[in-house]
Chain A
Amino acid sequence: MTYLIQQSLNALQLGSVYALIALGYTMVYGVLTMINFAHGDFFMVGAFLCFLSVARLHLPFVPTLLISMAGVALLAVAVEVSAYRPLRKAPRVSAIITALGVGIFLEHFTLALSPYPLHIPPAFENVTWNAGGLAVSSLQVVTVLLSVGLMAALQFVVARTPLGIAMRAVSWDRDTASLLGVPVNRVISATFAIGGALGGAAGMLYALSYPVIDPYMGVLVGWKAFISAVVGGIGDIRGAMLGGYILAAVEIAVAVALPSTYRDFVAFSLLIVLLIFRPYGIFGRPRPQKL
């Protein structure tokens, strides 16, 4: 029993990070119907900013969090303005390929600066509490609480604030929103900023939990978070959160129940089965076709 609880805690921690990154995908998708494949690399930049802050500037936890979030938000807006905005009217796929290009660029630019994996010293004293064979670390608690907090904050912004209303309006119909006086460009930039900030926070939490970082760390995690977003129903905020936790739970459950060698094989097969039964994800609905 403690064994299963322990594994659930593991899934909770991993899922929180997937969910945070998945949110970045889903927000951009919701507003622009564009898959921002560079998001995994935004996450990587967040982790490197965390390194800079903790290992080089010796800053404590909270300023590090702010630096990572703000830095990645800035980066996301810069990328949006310079690379994605010129493609607003182009075919959707061109923007996706551009995003892939931006991602590869970020990876290799970081790589050219630092080919070696970097190690991040702990930003705060990590205490492990043991209770009846169950081990819970303060880092785990911080990761889960902070993720849930950020997700709740996001939910509030989207549901209750003028910015959130504007975002939903742009997502529903960009042209009409623009006619009604919604500053579309600014709303889109704000979306990227928020998505980027979440990605930065995820990068930092990830870097503290798994303190060896390298320029390619965002690739695999990014694809997985994207999968989480789709499983939940891309464009849907609750979906992205749920998707993140589901993917982590499946990965860990497969590793627990079967030889871990088959983890990817089984986890991704399950994913395809899920998409066959719910082709638009858990919360996603097909947009009704008007004939």
Chain B
Amino acid sequence: MRRLSLSLACCSAAVVMLGGCGRRSGDTIRIGVIAELTGSIPAVGASCRNAALLAAKEINDAGGIEMGGKKKKIELVIEDTAAKADQAAAAAQKAITRDDVAAIVGPNSSSNALPAAEIAEKAGVVMIAPWSTNPKTTLDAQTNLPKKFVFRACFTDMFQGHVLGKFAAETLKAKKAAMLYDVASEVLKSQSELFKQSFEAGGGRVVAVETYTTGDKDFSAQLTKIKKAGPDIVFLPSYYTDVPLQVQQAHRLGLKVPFLGSDAWSTEELIKMCGKDCDGFYLSNHYSPQTTNPVTRRFIDSYKAAYGGVPDDVAALTYDSFGLLRVALAAAGTTDHRAIRDALSRTTDYQGVTGNMRFTPGSGDPVKGAVILQIKDEKFVWVTDVQP
């Protein structure tokens, strides 16, 4: 009996800890960073956290953000979602209710961002999902009208799939394309469908559609099938960690046509892993690494200095989310949620790491251009600009 009571007591103690009172923000501006630190996509979470820490440090080193005549520093509240939807919702709710954050950056994957966005919208707190490309993230599910408080820093699946399909058909003059994508990934499926649409609209034909599932490492069956279909080009919108496996296996099987990827490829890490195997391939990206844009150059350098590795697209987009917030906070001059939102949606020309962006009123999706890059001699090389 005593033991039972004891375990009950432990349980209630835990509940009390949960029920502990929240913190009010004072001299700092609290920003919630909700990232997939553990779970199926830890690399995304790690990049997001690293970039957030870097951005916050730079803002604070510059003295902070001026509010009401006083410089306030940024304080980060970093929460893990374990790449699970329910934990993403809990983390968002905690950041809003307990930590009284001024705004939220993250989560990144759409399956985490969607439930978190519902919570942020309901609470009226600005949330910028750096990497969530699902069009639904910023839309109200019932009305299909834009949400009021949810923004993103990337382009949507629509735009990218469309750009790449057009590029393959018109610029590369490919006639037959094959696709290989992760059937369990919401992003890649949308991109592939749009690629197919615009590629076929451009006069091409998709001769093979093959899929795999997250976590697979062997693609030989699918690649052998693709080789048999004899395409001129393979659309491969995989995450950069899968690409080297797929490309190397394709080459081993004697499939030697150019591959076409998306912004998920855009890290030098890919080239390091791929080596010569990826030479001649094309990808779409937010920005060109050879850009003369000083913001981009400086970001890449300071990220390298801080973490030793090159930033990927998640890091760049998270960094830009902070950049957008910084401007909005400064313009609002207060941590009032509505004021921040109004300032953010009035962003007209933000010079970010991932290019210039602006928000059109009433939409959380940025208007930003894309570039097409080619991998040449183990370097990303600019090919063309695409404007929306």
Residues of A near any B CB (own CB < 8 A): 3, 6-7, 10-11, 13-14, 108, 111, 115-117, 119, 126, 128, 130, 133, 135, 137, 139, 206, 209-212, 214-217, 219-221, 251-252, 255-256, 259-261, 263-264
Contacts and interface: CB of A to CB of B under 8 A. Distances in A.
Interface in B360-379: none
23 contacts: A14-B218, A111-B38, A115-B37, A115-B46, A116-B43, A116-B269, A117-B241, A130-B254, A209-B217, A209-B218, A211-B248, A211-B273, A212-B217, A212-B242, A216-B40, A220-B215, A221-B215, A221-B217, A252-B221, A259-B210, A260-B212, A260-B222, A263-B213
A270 B272 CA distance: 40
| 6 A-B pairs closest in CB distance | A10-B220, A210-B217, A115-B46, A255-B221, A119-B273, A220-B215
A260 B221 contact: yes
A215 B46 CA distance: 14
Nearest to B309: A116
Interface of A is mostly: helix
Given A116-B42, A119-B269, A211-B245, 13 more contacts: A6-B253, A116-B269, A119-B272, A126-B252, A139-B252, A212-B241, A212-B242, A212-B273, A216-B215, A260-B211, A260-B225, A261-B211, A264-B213
A214 B253 contact: no
A103 B213 CA distance: 22
Given A119-B273, A137-B252, A259-B209, A214 B225 contact: no
Interface in B216-274: 216-218, 220-222, 224-225, 228, 241-242, 244-245, 248, 251-254, 269, 272-273
A206 B209 contact: no
Contacts of B211: 259-261, 263
A111 B220 contact: no
Pick from A128, A219, A261 the residue with the most CB of B within 10 Å: A261
Nearest to A248: B218
A232 to B, nearest CB: 20
B270 to A, nearest CB: 10
Interface residues of B, number: 36
Contacts of B241: 117, 212, 214
B217 A10 contact: no
Contacts of B38: 108, 111
Interface string B198-216: 0000000000011111011
Contacts of A264: 213
B11 interface: no
B165 interface: no
Nearest to B209: A259
A206 B217 contact: yes
B45 to A, nearest CB: 7
A139 to B, nearest CB: 8
A221 B269 CA distance: 25
B215 A116 contact: no
A126 B245 CA distance: 14
B220 A13 contact: yes
Contacts of B248: 211
